[in-house]
Amino acid sequence: MILASLRARWAGFLGAFVAVALGVALTAAMGVGLAASLDAPVREPQRFAASPVVVAGRDTLTVPVRRGPEVRHVAKRLAHPHPVDNELLRELGRLGQIRTDRKPSDRTPPDAVGVAAPVGAVRAAVAASGTGARVLTGDDRRLVDPATERDARALVAVNSFLGTAGGVAAFVSAFVTASTFAFVVALRRREFGLLRAAGASRGQVRRWLLGEAVVVGAVASAAGCAGGAWAAPVLARALVDAEVAPPWFTVADGFSWTWWPYQLAFWAGLVVAVAGAWSAVWRAGRVSPVEALREASLDVGAMPPVRRVVGGVLLAGGLGLLAWTLWSEPADLLKRKTYTTQPMVLATGVAALAPALVRYVMLLFRRPRVLVRRGGPSGGGVTVGRQGAVGLGCARPFRPVGGPAAHRVSSLFRVARANVRGSVRRTAAVAAPVLVTVSLAGCLFGSAATVGGAKAAEAKARTGAQLVVTGDDLRPVDGPVPGATVAASGATAVFVREDGGTALIRSEARAVPDPEAFAAVSRLPVVAGDVRRLDDRSIVVNEEWERHRVGERVDVWLGDGRRARLRIAAVLARGTGDNGAYVTARNAPSAPLDRMDVRLRDGADRTAVAAALRTATGGQVRPAGEWLAAEHPPGMKHQTRLGLLMLLAICLAYTAISLLSTQLMTAPVRAPELRSLRLVGATPGQIRLVVAAEAALAVAVGALLGLAVTLVGLGGLSAGLASLSAPAGVVVPWGVMGVCVAVCAVVAVGGGVLGVRRVPGAV
C-alpha cells in the first residue's frame, strides 16, 4: 500500500525527495572535504630536505592549569620559538656537518639547523643540553618549513567553512523536508478522514505515513550519496578557485577514498526525513472521520496548539539567547558561529508561527473594499470581501475586469489578497522557505559586513599617523627623522591564566620600543591609565582581561615563554577584538619590527620624509589611508564573500525546491475553486494573474518576516558592538536580500502558473 501510494502521489513527495537527496549530497561532499583536510597529504620537506636530521628550538609553552580536582598541563605555540642554543650548535658540529639557510651577513641565531649525523647521537646531545630543542626526522622535518604553518591556517579556514556550510545545509534540508511533509498531510485531510471512516485506526494511518517517509528518505539518501561522490571533487576545486583552500587541496573521485562521510550522510538523510515527517505523521493520526465531509478550503484558523507552543518557545528562546549573549558575552555576537545559528532559531520560530502571522502581515497591504461589477437585471455582481470573491446572482457572464486598466489591476489584487488571507496554511507554506532564505542572507551577509566595517572603522580611529612603513625585514631608524615622529612596533603575544587558573589564554600583542613616540602617533581607545607610562615592568591590556585595573599586577608568559609579573599601566576598550595588549620591546626581544607609524610635523615635506624612511628602513612607505584600505578593508574579505555566496546558493536551491513542490501540490487541490471562477466568467488569463498575484503576495509575506528576523539579529549585533565600545553602524545587505526575494518570486509565480495550467478546466 505504501509503494502504491507513493506511485500515485509522486509529485507531492518530489520536493521532499529532492531536498533530502540534495542535503545528503552536500553532507557527503563536505564530509569528504573535511576528511581530506583532517588527513591532508604529507608534503615533502623543503627547507632542510638534504639533511637527515633537523634540530629546531622549543616552540611551545606548557603551563599547568586546574581542571576540577586535577592539575593538567596545557601547551600553546609560542609567538617566538627559541633559537638553537650556541653551545648546542657547537656540540652538533662535532657530530656532523651543520646546514643553515641564513645569509652570511645574518647574525641572528638560527631557529633550526640541519644535521648530517646519526639520529641517536643527535638526540643524546639535545637531551644533555637541557634546552628543550626538538629533533625532527623523516616527514616531520617539514614542520620548520614556512609553508607548513600557512597550510595549517588554510586548512582551519576550510574546516570552518565546511562546518558552517554543512550546518546550514542540514538546517535548511530538515526545514524544507518537515514543511513539505506537513503540507502534504494538510492537503490529504479528507483522504485520511475517509480512511478513518472506513475503519482505519490512528496507528495505521501513522504507520502508513511513516513508511512513506522511510521509503522516500532511504531512496533519496542513496541517490544523495551518489551525488556526493560526484560533487566532492567539484567542491574541492571550487574552494581552491575561491582561495578558501590551499592550491594543493584535493579529494579523490568516487567512493574508494573514504567511507565514513557517506555512511554519515546516508543515515543523517534518513533521520532528517523521518524526523521531518514525525510531527506531520502525529497530526495525521488525529484526523477524525468528519474531515471527509469538509469541502471548504478556507483555513484561517489552521494553527494547532502544539505548533503555537513550539513556535512560541523557539521564538522566545531565540530572543532570550540573544539577550543573554548581549548581557553576558557580547563579543560572541561578532563570531560567525553565533550570527549563523541565532537566525536559524529565530527563523524557525517565526516560520512555525507563520499561519498566525499571515493576517497581521497582510494588514500592511491596502485593505480591499467592496467591489461590485455589472450583473444581470436582478442587480447581481461580485463582492470582494475579507474571505474572497463571491458571485451574487450573476445573470450575465462575470466581468471582474471591466473598466480602466488600473481598476482591473486593483480588482485582481483584491481577489488575490482575499485568497491569501483566506488560505493561511497555503500562504505560510510558500512564505516559510522565503523567510528562512531572506533571514539567513540578511543575517550572514549583514553581520559579516557590519563586523568588517566596525573593525575597519576601529582601525582607522586608532591610527593617528600620516604614513605607515611596512616590510618583512625592516631596519630600525638610527636617530630622529627630520620633520617626523616615528614609532616602530612588532607583533608578539602574551599568555595569561584566567577563569580561576583553569584556562591558558593567548592574547595578541605588539611590542613598542618607544612608548612616548607610540602614544604620540596613535589614538588608542584608552579607558583608564596612560599608555605613556608603559615600561619594562608594565603592560597595557584591554577590558577583556580578567584583571584589568590600572596598578594591578598580572602574571603573564611573554611571547618567548618567559614568565613575568607586570603592572597594568593602561586599559583599552574591548572593541571588536583587535585591541590587543602592548609591551615594551625589552619584553619581546625576538619580535621583529614589521610596522612604523609616522606622524608628520607642521611644515614637513611628505615626499622628503617618505624618501628618507624608504632609504633608512628598506620598507614600503604608504599613506595611512592606503595602508588601512589594504590591511583593514571595510566590509567583507573576498574569501568571506565567496564562501557566503556559496552558502546562499545552497539556501536558494532548497527554497526553489520547496516553492516549486508546494505550488505544484497545491494546484490540483484548488481545482474546484479555479473552476468556480471560470463558471462565473473569469478568463484563463485572469485566473493566471490571480494565482501569480497570490504567489507574489505570499513571497512578500515571507520577505517581510525574513526582514524582521534580520533586523532583530543585526540590531542585537549593533547593541553588542556598542557595549564593546566599538563602532556600531549596521550594514543591511539590501542588494543580496533583494536578489533572494526576486529569485523566490520568479520561482513561486512560475510554479503557480505552471501548476494551474495542469488543472483541467481551470484555464
Question: What are the residue boundaries of the structural domains of the chain, listed by start?
Answer: 1-43+145-294, 53-144, 320-366+406-460+633-763, 472-618
| Mean confidence (pLDDT) of the chain | 82
Going by C-alpha positions, the residue among 364, 446, 210 that lies closest to residue 697 is 364
pLDDT of residue 642: 81
**DSSP 3-state of 484:** strand
Reported confidence tier of residue 71, pLDDT bands at 50, 70, 90 = confident
pLDDT of residue 542: 94
- Number of neighbours of residue 589 by Cβ within 10 angstroms: 15
pLDDT of residue 429: 84
Q: pLDDT: is 476 or 274 the higher one?
A: 476
Q: Do residues 689 and 420 make contact, with C-beta atoms less than 8 angstroms apart?
A: no
Query: Which amino acid would we find at residue 131?
Result: T
Lowest average pLDDT, out of 382-391, 542-551, 573-582, goes to: 382-391
- The full length of the chain comes to 763
Residue 500 pLDDT exceeds 60 = yes
pLDDT of residue 286: 64
pLDDT of residue 468: 95
pLDDT one-digit tens code per residue, 124-159 = 999 998 888 999 998 889 888 887 878 878 888 888
- Number of neighbours of residue 52 by Cβ within 10 angstroms: 16
pLDDT one-digit tens code per residue, 77-116 = 999 989 998 899 999 989 988 888 877 666 677 889 999 9
- Number of neighbours of residue 171 by Cβ within 10 angstroms: 21
Q: Looking at residues 380-390, what average pLDDT do you find?
A: 39
Ramachandran area for residue 485 (φ above 0: left; ψ -120 to 50: alpha; else beta): beta
pTM above 0.95, yes or no: no
Q: pLDDT: is 468 or 473 the higher one?
A: 468
Residue 423 pLDDT exceeds 70 = yes
Residue 40 pLDDT exceeds 60 = yes
Alpha carbon 95 to its chain's center: 54
Q: What percent of the chain has pLDDT over 70?
A: 85
Query: Which amino acid would we find at residue 210?
Result: L
Q: What angle in degrees, to the nearest 10, is found between the helix axes of 638-669 and 424-461?
A: 170
Residue 205 pLDDT exceeds 80 = no
pLDDT one-digit tens code per residue, 630-665 = 988 887 877 788 888 888 888 898 888 888 888 887
- 318-322 contacts, C-beta under 8 A, 24 or more apart: 318/342, 318/345, 318/346, 318/349, 319/346, 319/712, 321/345, 322/346, 322/712, 322/713, 322/716
pLDDT one-digit tens code per residue, 320-339 = 999 999 898 888 888 888 88
Lowest average pLDDT, out of 205-209, 405-409, 748-752, goes to: 405-409
pLDDT of residue 416: 79
Query: Which amino acid would we find at residue 119?
Result: V
Residue 166 main-chain phi, psi, to 5 deg:
-65, -40
Residue 729 main-chain phi, psi, to 5 deg:
-70, 140
pLDDT of residue 6: 66
Query: Which amino acid would we find at residue 388?
Result: G
The Cα–Cα gap between 702 and 351 comes to 9
Reported confidence tier of residue 379, pLDDT bands at 50, 70, 90 = very low
Q: Looking at residues 230-236, what average pLDDT do you find?
A: 85
Q: Residue 284 is placed in which grid cell?
A: 495525521
Residue 438 pLDDT exceeds 90 = yes
**Cβ contacts of residue 372 below 8 Å, gap of 6+?**
381, 382, 383
pLDDT of residue 409: 64
pLDDT of residue 102: 73
Residue 298 pLDDT exceeds 60 = no
**What letter would DSSP give residue 295?**
-
Lowest average pLDDT, out of 164-178, 317-331, 693-707, goes to: 164-178
Q: Looking at residues 739-744, what average pLDDT do you find?
A: 95
Reported confidence tier of residue 746, pLDDT bands at 50, 70, 90 = very high
Q: Residue 413 is placed in which grid cell?
A: 489584487
Max mean pLDDT range (258-272, 285-299, 591-605): 591-605
The Cα–Cα gap between 113 and 54 comes to 6
pLDDT of residue 78: 92
pLDDT one-digit tens code per residue, 580-617 = 899 999 999 989 899 999 999 988 999 999 999 999 99
The Cα–Cα gap between 338 and 333 comes to 6
Residue 685 pLDDT exceeds 50 = yes
Lowest average pLDDT, out of 40-44, 345-349, 567-571, goes to: 40-44
Alpha carbon 676 to its chain's center: 48
The Cα–Cα gap between 186 and 666 comes to 10
Residue 23 pLDDT exceeds 60 = yes
pLDDT of residue 587: 95
Residue 539 pLDDT exceeds 90 = yes
Lowest average pLDDT, out of 84-93, 278-287, 467-476, goes to: 278-287
pLDDT of residue 496: 95
Going by C-alpha positions, the residue among 350, 370, 369, 347 that lies closest to residue 360 is 350
Q: Residue 148 is placed in which grid cell?
A: 607548513
pLDDT of residue 136: 93
pLDDT of residue 554: 95
Max mean pLDDT range (164-178, 182-196, 321-335): 321-335
Q: Do residues 349 and 314 make contact, with C-beta atoms less than 8 angstroms apart?
A: yes
